[in-house]
Amino acid sequence: MSDNLLKLLKGELKRLMKYNILQISFAVALLWIAVIFLIGREQATTFVPLFIFMDAALMTVLYVGANLFYEKQENTLKTLLITPSGYVAVLASKIIAAVYLALQSSVIISLAAFFLFDVQLDFLALYSAVVLIAFAHAALGFSFAIVSRDFNGLIAAVGLYMIFLAFPSIFFAFGLIPERFEAVMLLSPTHASMMLIDASFGKTVALWTVLVSTAYLAALAAGLLLFFIGPKYRENAVRE
Amino acid sequence: MGVPIFSVRDLRFTYRKSRVAAVKGIDFDVVEGEIFGLLGPSGAGKSTTQKILTRLFKTYEGTIEYFGKDLKAYGNAFYEDIGVGFELPVHFSKLTGLENMRFFSELYKKRADIETLLDAVGLLEDKDRPVADYSKGMKMRLNFVRALLNEPRVLFLDEVTNGLDPGNARIIKDLIKDFRARGGTAFLTTHLMNDVEELCDRVAFIREGEIVETASPRELKIKHGRRELRVETFENGETKMHVFPLEGLGENKDFLALLKTASIETMHSGETSLDEIFIKVTGVAGDVR
Ligand SMILES: Nc1ncnc2c1ncn2[C@@H]1O[C@H](COP(=O)(O)OP(=O)(O)OP(=O)(O)O)[C@@H](O)[C@H]1O
Ligand SMILES: [Mg+2]
């Protein structure tokens, strides 16, 4: 099983390159850096966390969801089910690939932030946060793809997710939503993600917020995988 | 009969959200070393049955035994044993044919030589082209190679010659016969009578989820076939068809009279074709090629 996980992962990473996703993700990270140059480096402390969040959370949802749809269309999900690997290893390989993608972006952006814009940050805390955020959002991406009928349905689901959960937390970050709503905001996975990223950039985030956010994201990912994606994955992959 | 590899008893399956069962209590055995054909019109439940046997669907009722042990008791190692050829192409279109095969091959313990297989189906020259550039027939041949990557004991083939020109269909059919000659067992679904006649040791006719008959192609012909002579004559400005049994033809007065008096256009002796049997048994027209 672990042997096949490595081979599946190798395949995933190879396809990330073949399908130019790795390259595009790299280019997007460079683009964010260019944007910060344009906005002005004094704004970097505000925007660097935001861009890292966008890559780790929103890009991951989109990538995982689109990947699932694409492979369903190509029937490769189905043919992987009739190999000795088992679907758990297939799911794991896809999640690890998505986390890797998010980590690559955050490393590029954070190094630029540190060396070019003098932004202070705790690298270890940031990368741990990115792993957790990407993991949770990969689970969300799988879930959205499973409930959507087609690719447009997926885009709609991600759109709704952004409007109801992501934008409020971005508004919150800019102070457009009053502080007293913070506890409610934490119910949003994006807000929990933002808090963890903010904390790694040394912004004042209460310890309980960090703990609750971490537990919430981990529980969300585990819950979705165990109770929704796990039971539905096979049926979804086989459905034509 | 030999050792049953699959014993299927009272198998039933209903798709979620569907009100009627797709498979309604079928029984059959697939015996070691044979090519077993599941034959029936579109929508009869052939692919559904194959997906149940390959454990893609697990919510069936009834029992399936694989080598005498409940299929549900097997782990993922079951897949080391079987090769599955799907109805539709199953490849990463941006990877080349060879890259695709390498990726899947690595997931098995036993590994057939990929280039030998590609060569056998005439794809060796195209091995480094992305599958997106393959024609439909090339993709179906690659599907066949995919099914053989792990040197399976049991081969499942869903409409394997679908979309192939006669030359390539010939190649695939010969490879299936080679597979049997080396001791392999195959489960084949099709609605093409030619495939059945040439390949299958036994066929089960499935119709609306029920098996209506199981026999060898030869038994079917003997049971349903009629040996007869068809004579076309030209009378009063139109062509007329007369049919006579071959038995006792020499003493058949009507026939002898016809020979003397009529102007005969054509005369053919024939046994009932499997196509006619297909229509008779399933009540639906099969596809002829
Ligand atoms: N995913 C599905 N959901 C609901 N019903 C389905 C599904 N797939 C197939 N069916 C139904 O189950 C029945 C059997 O379908 P199946 O695909 O097994 O037929 P088949 O014999 O393979 O036909 P064909 O020769 O066209 O491939 C059909 O009535 C079909 O409409
Ligand atoms: Mg079918």
pLDDT in tens, B205-214: 999 999 998 9
Question: B276: Cβ–Cβ under 8 A, 6 or more apart, which residues?
Answer: B224
Nearest CA to ligand 1 atom 12: B22
Instruction: Say how many Å lie between the first and final Cα of chain B, rounded.
Output: 32
pLDDT tens digits along A30-83: 999 999 989 988 889 889 999 999 999 989 999 999 999 999 999 999 999 999
pLDDT at B288: 42
The answer to whether A238 contacts B51, with C-beta atoms less than 8 Å apart, is yes
pLDDT value of residue A41: 83
> Could A78 and B86 be called an inter-chain contact, meaning their C-beta atoms sit closer than 8 Å?
yes
Residue among A83, A238, A240 minimizing CB distance to B107: A83
The answer to whether A49 and A122 are in contact (CB under 8 A) is no
Residue A153 touches partner B, C-beta closer than 8 Å:
no
pLDDT reported for residue A156: 92
Which residues, at least 6 apart from B99, have a Cβ–Cβ distance to it below 8 Å?
B92
Selected residue of A79, A90, A93, A146 to mutate for chain B interface (largest B Cβ count, 10 A): A79
What number of C-beta contacts closer than 8 Å exist between A and B?
65
Mean pLDDT in residue range B145-174: 93
Mean residue pLDDT of chain A comes to 91
Mean pLDDT calculated for residue range B145-162: 95
- Which residues are CB-contacts of B157 (< 8 A; sequence separation ≥ 6)? B85, B144, B147, B176, B186, B187, B188, B189
Atom of ligand 1 nearest to the CA of B44: 21
pLDDT over threshold 50, residue A215: yes
Map residue B106 onto helix, strand or coil: coil
Inter-chain touch B56–A81, beta carbons under 8 Å: yes
- pLDDT at B287 exceeding the cut of 60: no
Of the pLDDT bands very low, low, confident and very high (cuts 50, 70, 90), residue B174 is very high
Q: Which distant-in-sequence residues (6+ apart) come within 8 Å of B200 by Cβ?
A: B35, B36, B37, B39, B188, B216, B217
Q: Percent of chain B, pLDDT > 90?
A: 66
**Which one, of B109, B185, B104, B182, lies nearest residue B145 by Cα?**
B104
Chain A interface includes B198 (CB < 8 A): no
> Which tokens is B121 given?
């189906």
Of A172, A206, A169, A174, nearest in space to A189 by CA? A169
Instruction: Report residue A238's pLDDT band, with 50, 70 and 90 as the boundaries.
Output: confident
* pLDDT above 50: residue B289: no
Amino acid at B150: N
Ligand at minimal distance from the CA of B46 is: 1
End-to-end Cα separation, chain A, in angstroms: 27
Is residue B255 within 8 angstroms of chain A, CB to CB? no
Residues of A in contact with B56 (CB under 8 A): 78, 81-82, 234, 238
Token pair 């499973």 is found at: A146
3-state class (DSSP) for residue B199: helix
Cα separation of B42 and B55, whole Å? 22
Q: Where are the domains of chain A?
A: 3-239
pLDDT greater at residue A147 or residue A175 = A147
Euclidean distance between CA atoms B144 and B265, whole angstroms: 46
Q: pLDDT tens-digit profile of B184-201?
A: 999 999 888 778 888 999
Q: Specify the pLDDT at position B284.
A: 66
Q: pLDDT tens, B9-36? A: 999 999 988 999 999 999 999 999 999 9
- Among residues B143, B129, B130, B123, the alpha carbon closest in space to that of B94 is found at B130
Q: Is the pLDDT reported for residue B230 higher than 90?
A: no
Question: Half-sphere exposure (CA, 13 Å, Cβ side) for B280?
Answer: 13
Give the other-Cβ count within 10 Å of A213's Cβ.
25
DSSP state, B134?
S
Joined tokens for residue B34 = 């044979």
Helices A60-73 and A87-117: crossing angle in degrees, nearest 10, is 140
**All structural domains of chain B with their residue ranges:** 226-270
Angstroms from A172 CA to nearest CA on chain B:
42
| pLDDT surpassing 50 at residue A101 | yes
Q: Which of A104-108, A193-197, A235-239 bottoms out in mean pLDDT, i.e. has the lowest?
A: A235-239
Verify whether the Cβ–Cβ distance A82 to B82 is below 8 Å: yes
Cα torsion angle, B257, B259, B265, B269, sign: positive
Q: For the residues B164-168, what does the mean pLDDT come to?
A: 91
- Residue B203: CB atoms within 10 A of its CB come to 29
Q: A130 vs A175, which has greater pLDDT?
A: A130
User: Residue B107: which of A4, A14, A235 has the nearest Cβ?
Assistant: A4
Cβ contacts of A98 within 8 Å, gap of 6 or more: A60, A63, A64, A67, A134, A137, A138, A141
Interface contact B77, partner A, CB < 8 A: yes
B255: helix, strand or coil: helix
Mind telling me how many Å the CA of A73 is from chain B's nearest CA?
A: 9
Tens of pLDDT, residue by residue over B265-281, are: 888 877 667 777 778 77
Extract the tokens encoding A109: 């952006």
Please name the member of B54, B76, B93 whose beta carbon is closest to the beta carbon of A84. B76
pLDDT number for residue A1: 54
Residue B43 Cα to ligand 2 midpoint, Å, equals: 7
pLDDT per residue as tens digits for the range B92-123: 999 999 999 999 999 999 999 999 999 999 99
Using the atom order of ligand 1, give the atom closest to the CA of residue B41.
25
Residue B285, pLDDT > 60, answer: no
The pLDDT value recorded for residue A161 is 85
Across the range A144-158, mean pLDDT stands at 90
- Rounded to the nearest 5 degrees, what angle is found at the Cα of B246, between the Cα atoms of B240 and B247? 135
Q: What is the pLDDT of residue A150?
A: 86
Cβ atoms of B59 and B21 closer than 8 Å = no
* Res. A125: pLDDT tops 90: yes
Contact A79 B89 (CB under 8 A): no
Work out the pLDDT band at A211, boundaries 50, 70, 90: very high
- The residue whose CA has the least distance to atom 11 of ligand 1 is B22
Sign of the four-CA dihedral B125, B130, B136, B142: positive
pLDDT at B167 over 50: yes
Q: Mean pLDDT, to the nearest integer, of A220-233?
A: 94
C-alpha to C-alpha distance for B14 and B23, rounded to whole angstroms: 7
With CB atoms and an 8 Å threshold, state whether B90 touches A76.
yes
Residues A97, B152: Cα–Cα separation, whole Å: 30
Q: What is the pLDDT of residue B1?
A: 63
pLDDT in tens, A14-29: 999 999 999 999 999 9
Query: Which of A89-93, A165-169, A224-228, B41-45 comes out lowest in average pLDDT?
Result: A165-169
Provide the mean pLDDT of chain B. Answer: 91
Q: Are the beta carbons of B159 and B254 closer than 8 angstroms?
A: no
> Quick one: average pLDDT of B76-92?
94
Greater pLDDT, B237 or B95: B95
Q: Rounded to the nearest whole angstrom, what is the distance from the C-alpha of residue A193 to the centroid of ligand 1? A: 44
Residue percentage of chain A with pLDDT more than 90: 68
Q: Which amino acid is at B125?
A: E
Q: Which residues line ligand 1 (CB under 6 A)?
A: A 239; B 15, 18, 22, 40, 42-48, 191
Task: Give the whole-angstrom CA distance, residue A103 versus residue A117.
Answer: 20
